[in-house]
Amino acid sequence: MPALKRNKASLILLGISSLVVPNAGFVPRQMGTHLNGLQLQESTPEINPDAWVEPDASLGIVPEEEEREVDWGLGGVRLAQESAIKITGEITHKPGKADAQPMELLRYTALNKVEESTVKSVMDKTGSKIICSGQGVEEYKDPGDSLEKVVILAPMEAIKDAFTNAGPAIDCETLVFNFLGGDDLMMGEVLDAAKEMVVMMDIATKAKITFNSLCHMSIPCGTCAVTVVSLGKNDYEGSNDLEKSIVSGEVYLRDGTYMTVQESDINTALA
């Protein structure tokens, strides 16, 4: 996907606050009883039950129990919630340094689970293999007496976990880094983790590296999984869209479950 509220649409709302005056809500205690020189009354006014007036529907005022349900489909909210959002990109590198650049954003209607036997069968036909995989969890540590906050980011923890079981990659000509997280997965964190992983692994300078960063509401927030795939050279293209995704190296492994997205599920709907 943090100090600021994060979501799959990568919207960060800055400088927005809500102030509700007395009798309509509350003013936070830390703001005190003065606001821009305006004295606010702390006492609770008395309410005369005989003075109650029924809401006037002509003014658009309706009793709470008659309020209509909100249609979350308006404005594309449901479209964003139900979509798997993927950003693809490339990683350029040389010894001791790497740079990752996002290239394209795609939206899918589904995140598909794939049988392990299917993944292995397709990879056997293409000569591809999974070099490593790992998972990470975001964590905030109490700074204690220090003023410095300690934040452990899920993508960075995921690549560290993957590196502990990484196979040799020096002979790999084409690699695909696949990151999978919840709605709060942040592109900047993925880019940093991808660059760091290239430096950590023993990869030939001539190797071509691409990445996929996918987020979906079914994946718990604050978590990230990474799967590194080395593409083979065989000519098998896949018998369906699901297999074609595996052929391209787009495989996400999380908690022992393989997942991917397929071209037929690309969502071109507009909000």
Q: Cα angle vertex 4, ends 155, 200, to 5°?
A: 20
Beta bridge partners of 151: 140
- Residue position matching structure tokens 């098998």: 236
Q: Cα angle vertex 32, ends 30, 36, to 5°?
A: 115
Total domain count, the chain: 1
pLDDT of 27 reads: 37
Query: Which residues, other chains included, contact 184 with Cβ-Cβ below 8 Å and sequence gap of 6+?
Result: 1, 2, 6, 7, 8, 215, 221, 222
One pLDDT digit (tens) per residue for the chain, 271 residues: 444 445 444 433 333 333 333 333 333 433 333 344 444 444 455 656 666 666 565 665 555 555 556 555 555 566 666 689 999 999 999 999 999 999 999 999 999 999 999 999 999 999 999 999 999 999 987 777 777 778 899 999 999 999 999 999 999 999 999 999 999 999 999 999 999 999 999 899 999 999 999 999 999 999 999 999 999 999 999 999 999 999 999 999 999 999 999 999 999 876 5
Q: Is residue 104 classed as helix, strand or coil in its secondary structure?
A: strand
**CA-CA distance, 134 to 253, in Å (whole number)?**
8
pLDDT of 269 reads: 77
Q: What is the pTM of this model?
A: 0.72
**CA-CA distance, 149 to 5, in Å (whole number)?**
17
- Tell which residue, 134, 160, 154, has the closest CA to residue 228: 134
Range of the domain at 68: 1-271
Is there a contact between 194 and 203 (Cβ–Cβ < 8 Å)? no
pLDDT of 203 reads: 94
Q: What is the CATH number of the domain that holds 50?
A: 3.30.1330.20
Query: Which residues, other chains included, contact 153 with Cβ-Cβ below 8 Å and sequence gap of 6+?
Result: 136, 138, 189, 192, 193
pLDDT of 69 reads: 63
pLDDT of 46 reads: 60
Q: Is residue 22 classed as helix, strand or coil in its secondary structure?
A: coil
- Residue position matching structure tokens 């993927």: 86
117 φ, ψ (degrees, to nearest 5) = -65, -35
Is there a contact between 260 and 244 (Cβ–Cβ < 8 Å)? no
pLDDT of 102 reads: 97
